[in-house]
Amino acid sequence: MASKSILSAAIVLVHAVCAAAVPLNQAATGTVAAAAPPATFTPNPNVGPGRGNNYYTDSAHFRLYGASGTQASASLNMLEAAYDCYINTMGWRSSGLSYNSATDDGPFYKVNIYSVGSLGGSAGVMHSDAASGLAWLEVLPDYLANPWITVHEWGHGITYAERYWSATATEINLRKIIGDSYQVLVDGSVNTGNYYEAWPFLSYITANPDGYVGLGLTAVRDMIRKYNRGSNETPLHSLDRIATSTTAQAIVARYWARMAYVFLQQRDSLNYANLDAQGNAGTYKVKRARQPRYMGANVIPLKKSGAVTVTAKVTANKAFTATLSVRNTSTGVTRYVDLVNGSGSTAVSADEEASLVVVNTPASLILFDPFSLSSDVQAGLDYTVTLTGATA
């Protein structure tokens, strides 16, 4: 499934989680650990075009061809830090293990990285060697010590080592993720899609600020491991499986509710124009072009004056989840009020702000290909809102 393309972005972007986490290899998980890997992995010059090339620099888990000195050490130090984070702390399968190996017992090989002069417009590329089942990377010299390239490409390597999914590439664009939040959560459409930008969702399920059972540090890894192998199900189906106390729909809805107050520095430049006022005061209708599509959302900042009670009633042509996201403007602390069947209210004090968040959450998850969106995931949620105590 192409929506796996957002995976490695999240892998690169959850470093902060590592800093605070208990290393999985120290946690009492009750599972039987595989044999401990050696401190230094075995070189494998047959992976990639390395054979006969004696210009390289080694670290414990990597071999960097075509670089030496501080350039090589800067790159390798960064990769080793990433290795420690993702493998030792977060518990991903080691990039030293073969894709083809049924066990995690080894042998363990270094990942080969090649410094190359040209990559046809890319700064880095991850390859897989089918015979050995190992990932290898090519990176332009100027990007060897740039984690957005080298660690990112290695991120593809570890999702490859997890075996059941594969992944491609990523970057960040806040105007897209917030301003076009109505789009299908992962949309691979050429030029208009968001699949490079959708990574905050994976950061959300990894950081797990709402404490959902089954999510957290290992969520993305577990989505791969619990994927129904060989099936065409989407990562949201797998998410629904690992989240044992709630649904993928509820998780997506709360993610969008939280996105109401992320990236505040840029919000003045983001497009929140989702509704048109109707004839009756306090009544609004979603703009046709902004109707939330499958697992997409509208974030609607509300205007109010002083302390008020905000009441919202959302009615729609099909299933949705609506939430009032409320933020204390002094402390930044947020709270979330579920609108049961689309209706609810909350007292919003003078030092708080509120947003209405409406998400297209069908009762059943949909099988879809993000690179060829079907009409069922593209169908918008047509809804009307009535507000008191605030305006949209």
Ligand X SMILES: *[C@@H]1O[C@H](CO)[C@@H](O)[C@H](O)[C@H]1NC(C)=O
Residue ranges in contact with ligand X by CB under 6 A: 328, 330-331, 340-341, 349, 351-352
Tokens 């090589």, located at residue: 72
As measured in angstroms, the least distance from the Cβ of 340 to ligand X is 4
Complex with ligand X: residue 222 or 353, whichever CB lies closer: 353
Complex with ligand X: residue 7 or 385, whichever CB lies closer: 385
- Find the helix packing angle between 248-259 and 200-207, rounded to 10°: 110
Complex with ligand X: residue 22 or 347, whichever CB lies closer: 347
SS (H, E, C) the chain: CHHHHHHHHHHHHCHHHHHHCCCCCCCCCCCCCCCCCCCCCECCCCCCCCCCCCCEEECCCEEEECCCHHHHHHHHHHHHHHHHHHHHHCCCCCCCCCCCCCCCCCCCECEEEEECCCCCCCCEEEEEECCCCEEEEEECHHHCCCCCCHHHHHHHHHHHHCCCCCCCCCCCCHHHHHHCCCCCCCCCCCCCCCCCCCCHHHHHHHHCCCCCCCCCCCHHHHHHHCCCCCCCCCHHHHHHHHCCCCCHHHHHHHHHHHHCCCCHHHHHHCCCCCEEECCCCCEEEECHHHCCCCCCEEEEECECCCCEEEEEEEEECCCCEEEEEEEECCCCCEEEEEEECCEEEEEECCCEEEEEEEECCCCCCCCCECCECCHHHHCCCCEEEEEECCEC
Complex with ligand X: residue 231 or 329, whichever CB lies closer: 329
Complex with ligand X: residue 187 or 352, whichever CB lies closer: 352
- For the CA atoms of the chain, what is the radius of gyration? 23
As measured in angstroms, the least distance from the Cβ of 61 to ligand X is 46
As measured in angstroms, the least distance from the Cβ of 330 to ligand X is 4
As measured in angstroms, the least distance from the Cβ of 331 to ligand X is 4
As measured in angstroms, the least distance from the Cβ of 155 to ligand X is 38
Q: What is the dihedral sign for C-alpha 44, 46, 50, 54?
A: positive
As measured in angstroms, the least distance from the Cβ of 322 to ligand X is 12
Complex with ligand X: residue 171 or 351, whichever CB lies closer: 351
Complex with ligand X: residue 222 or 352, whichever CB lies closer: 352
Complex with ligand X: residue 331 or 375, whichever CB lies closer: 331
As measured in angstroms, the least distance from the Cβ of 384 to ligand X is 17
Complex with ligand X: residue 84 or 338, whichever CB lies closer: 338
Question: Which tokens in the block code for residue 379?
Answer: 């169908």
As measured in angstroms, the least distance from the Cβ of 339 to ligand X is 10
As measured in angstroms, the least distance from the Cβ of 310 to ligand X is 13
